[in-house]
Structure 1
């Protein structure tokens, strides 16, 4: 690169990643290297080399489907400016790479072939680290445990995992509910990328897309891609037609079971509003239980929050220098977490932090939320899939990803609210709340959606965390809790992990409803296969407040040391 282009590249990086100070090294880019796969297909990659690096830092491998320019390329170049050679490869069937793109399916075999190839190259520095957010994190998980077990000589020597997880089936069918907004929105985006339909792609990133909105409203679900893209998209059809996560379609692309095989050091970064947060927290717990706790950072970010970029680059570079070049650790504790509400960072020895004490806050028929057991009664509401309860905020791939005000939403007749008294002092919830709802529906299938909110003294009702669980239907088969003689069943709903302080004078609020459309596909009520169900059925939903079958939310409460 010329000096002018080097300066321009640094300026672009600092603009796209607020707070980033680009590293000291100039870089050279070798474009369109051809990397052969075992079946003869060639994948294209760019090699980004820092100039004048003395210490042999690891070669970083990034594999993804979103192209080798733009924001992700900015991260690759930022790492190279920190002194790391970076190979940035486009997945099969994307951005000039050969073959057909089928999400998740080919990443293990192609990743294994790529790691073998990298170690044979003259520019290889002797060790390999992997890096990347979202799908680029999935490609890391696809090879890490497999290679550690089968070919340790080719396994990554460190992993830097940003807002990701190793099993995309689990988020696609989240507790048996189809994640429509993410699944169909991502499908439309990738379809346009593959076809290089760039103008609609760019416009869709800055304003609501009318085709996508119509796709969200389409029944049956199997027609959503046709409306949103104008064609059938093979992977979307696979997703909606494989509801059970035990289907071979999903099990062959899940890499959760191989996590304990990973012995390399791991750095993780995520955000409280990220779409993958619950699963990344579970992955952290898996590695911790295996005796290899990762370094973990959880900030006040959503999935594609630009504010996370500078922290991810700085902490990844420091993490890799510490392990491979004897650099300073830079962290006083393995976990660094931002406490929302209090707006404070905390260095913690573990997640959840020590000192968490569980307690159940019960839902009362009066609308009260209190630790005391309820004294009876039933709360009922009607869910109409032709006027589905809308999603208000929540983790997503959309530009706005933080907490939303639920004040107007709580006025809907299909949302019931239970509210605590104003708090005498601050209360912090740290961990994963679990709602246990005594629930009965007039239809064979129903969704239970639970959200915790922070009610501010000025009237704002701000999202803290939520979760969903479907009962009845194909995806829920074998997992439904049994119904009692009265038809009520205890439905456990694991909510989003949180680290939040409710301030003095604030109130804890719990919502119960039966949907959050289009974040999750509406439940037609019939229990028929989701791909083909078209008829809708209104449902009367009931919540039990019996002392024998109480409804409530288990809150992990934390006392600040």
Structure 2
């Protein structure tokens, strides 16, 4: 049975569901798993039952100002102190043996992480007693971190959708933005971006603050001091994949990684090349890991884990997959045998931007540079972090640069491989070298596939349009076209290329499966 209590924390009552193992309190005390969520605690009752069935007391709480909890909803503002107070309350219960696993996905992953690395100078010393283990899936690490790429380019569609669904309200309306786009397909083209609430037809007083928030990187910055065991789960198609890897790489305690060919909803959101071998039961894996950590012995220090390679049945050891050395491939005249089809010069016009939701590439359009390789002569595994290096100039003082890599099979079907952004501020006409990170890759490119690289000035509506005037893209109301030029012979990509596994190799070797601690 689920029992609901309201925990008093700093003049607010936080609605909290508690589900004990079937044997009940008499058979306790138990280790606890704590999930703090803005998405409604009742949606986690199935998950809570699964934890309880495995011997944990499951504690699921609505964060301040959401669903059943009182107080004002201010994303990311109260989670360190509210989380610390909740952990203290749980440890004081007679059914708790004092051991706690903090767990969560997306925003809830942030809630779990700050109970470990939250501000130690907070009013109640929130870092004084961290949980015994933390599970962070596709972590959304802060307002500014989720609103912008590491380059500073604004993530428009994702943030507009999230704030329309969850911002400045006690509950959620997941389809709010889609409904408005149905009535007004040009909704996101209206300027300034800060006027979105008027277009949505409801008040969103926190919307301007999304773009004003400074990028603190607080969780990653404090991660080296953590000693709590970490299980980080992510997807190579998740917008926060780079944050998941940064968290795992910098964590000071034992850290384990599971990275699959998934989007933000993980196994419910498989990407291109996902195979049956990648349909991991993440719930069972997480519970088994938490049980092993709680019951001891302590996990070995250092980093370990598994990364799935899309298009194959294989899982690579995480250290091998993430740290594969990058090789530099010129986009013309190099080992990839690429050719510049068009775009030694091109126009980046924010009034007619290259769209993020279209994979068609017309060589007759003058809005991008387009490189295409000859068909690959053998299967090629790209496993690790990639980047593009451009020798480029713009005739405007401000410019964004997007690089999108697309795999085109012999039948002409296109699938996205990677996308990245960079922002430059240079005197007009200045040649410079622009490095564009492309994020983590883990996929096999089959023989016969062509790799198409598109270099553009916009990637809309996924990202806001740079107006090229030097104004902030969020508050700008005037747009200017920008003429771009590339030196093709000095434009390259850095890819981590691993030797392909043989087709007959055993995909079930224990060191290749995400079954640890």
TM-score (norm 2): 0.85
Deviations 1:201-249 (A, max 9, x none): 2654987743685441221111012212422x2321112234xxxx4xx
Answer yes or no: is the 8 Å Cα contact 2:164–2:176 preserved in 1: no
Q: Distance in 2 between matches of 1:280 and 1:212?
A: 35
Q: Deviation at 1:353?
A: 5.2
Q: Deviation at 1:165?
A: 4.0
Structure 2 residue 160 is matched with structure 1 residue 190: no
Q: Distance in 1 between matches of 2:429 and 2:181?
A: 46
Q: Deviation at 1:305?
A: 4.4
Matched position secondary structure for 2:20 = strand
Answer yes or no: is the 8 Å Cα contact 2:338–2:373 preserved in 1: no
Q: Distance in 2 between matches of 1:284 and 1:235?
A: 31
Which of 320, 323, 326 does residue 358 from structure 1 map onto?
Answer: 326
Answer yes or no: is the 8 Å Cα contact 2:355–2:460 preserved in 1: yes
Q: Deviation at 1:555?
A: 0.8
Written as runs of structure 1 = structure 2, the 5 A alignment for 1:133-282 is 133-146=105-118, 154-174=129-149, 175-191=151-167, 194=170, 196=171, 201=173, 203-204=175-176, 209-210=181-182, 213-231=185-203, 233-242=204-213, 247=214, 250-251=215-216, 254-282=218-246
Cα gap change, 1:124 to 1:390, in 2 (>3 Å): same
Written as runs of structure 1 = structure 2, the 5 A alignment for 1:473-552 is 487-545=430-488, 550-552=490-492
Answer yes or no: is the 8 Å Cα contact 2:322–2:440 preserved in 1: no
Cα gap change, 1:271 to 1:449, in 2 (>3 Å): same
Answer yes or no: is the 8 Å Cα contact 1:184–1:225 preserved in 2: no
Matching residue of 1:51 = 22
Q: Deviation at 1:412?
A: 4.3
Answer yes or no: is the 8 Å Cα contact 1:55–1:325 preserved in 2: no
Answer yes or no: is the 8 Å Cα contact 2:134–2:228 preserved in 1: yes
Answer yes or no: is the 8 Å Cα contact 1:437–1:551 preserved in 2: yes
Structure 2 residue 498 is matched with structure 1 residue 558: yes
Cα gap change, 1:533 to 1:452, in 2 (>3 Å): same
Aligned length: 482
Moved more, 537-546 or 303-312: 303-312
Q: Deviation at 1:451?
A: 1.2
Written as runs of structure 1 = structure 2, the 5 A alignment for 1:33-112 is 33-37=5-9, 39-52=10-23, 57-70=30-43, 72-112=44-84
Cα gap change, 1:411 to 1:241, in 2 (>3 Å): farther
Answer yes or no: is the 8 Å Cα contact 1:363–1:369 preserved in 2: yes
Moved more, 135-144 or 206-215: 206-215
Cα gap change, 1:293 to 1:494, in 2 (>3 Å): farther
Answer yes or no: is the 8 Å Cα contact 1:214–1:227 preserved in 2: no
Deviations 1:398-457 (A, max 9, x none): xxxxxxxx2356764313221122222111111111111112112221110001222211
Q: Deviation at 1:141?
A: 1.7
Matching residue of 1:286 = 250
Matched position secondary structure for 1:275 = coil
Matched position secondary structure for 1:267 = strand
Supply the RMSD in Å over aligned alpha carbons: 3.0
Deviations 1:131-189 (A, max 9, x none): 11000001112221248896666211000111114334123121111111111110000
Matched position secondary structure for 1:542 = strand
Q: Distance in 2 between matches of 1:486 and 1:408?
A: 27
Q: Distance in 1 between matches of 2:298 and 2:500?
A: 28
Structure 1 alignment gaps of length 5 or more: 1-27, 394-405, 473-481
Deviations 1:78-99 (A, max 9, x none): 3223321111111111112111
Written as runs of structure 1 = structure 2, the 5 A alignment for 1:388-399 is 388-392=353-357
Q: Distance in 2 between matches of 1:131 and 1:431?
A: 27
Matched position secondary structure for 1:103 = coil
Q: Distance in 1 between matches of 2:460 and 2:322?
A: 34
Q: Distance in 2 between matches of 1:388 and 1:295?
A: 40
Moved more, 307-316 or 489-498: 307-316
Matching residue of 1:19 = none
Cα gap change, 1:229 to 1:164, in 2 (>3 Å): farther
Q: Distance in 2 between matches of 1:202 and 1:179?
A: 18
Matching residue of 1:13 = none
Matched position secondary structure for 1:104 = coil
Cα gap change, 1:76 to 1:108, in 2 (>3 Å): same
Deviations 1:309-329 (A, max 9, x none): 972211111101111235999
Which of 298, 301, 318 does residue 288 from structure 2 map onto?
Answer: 318
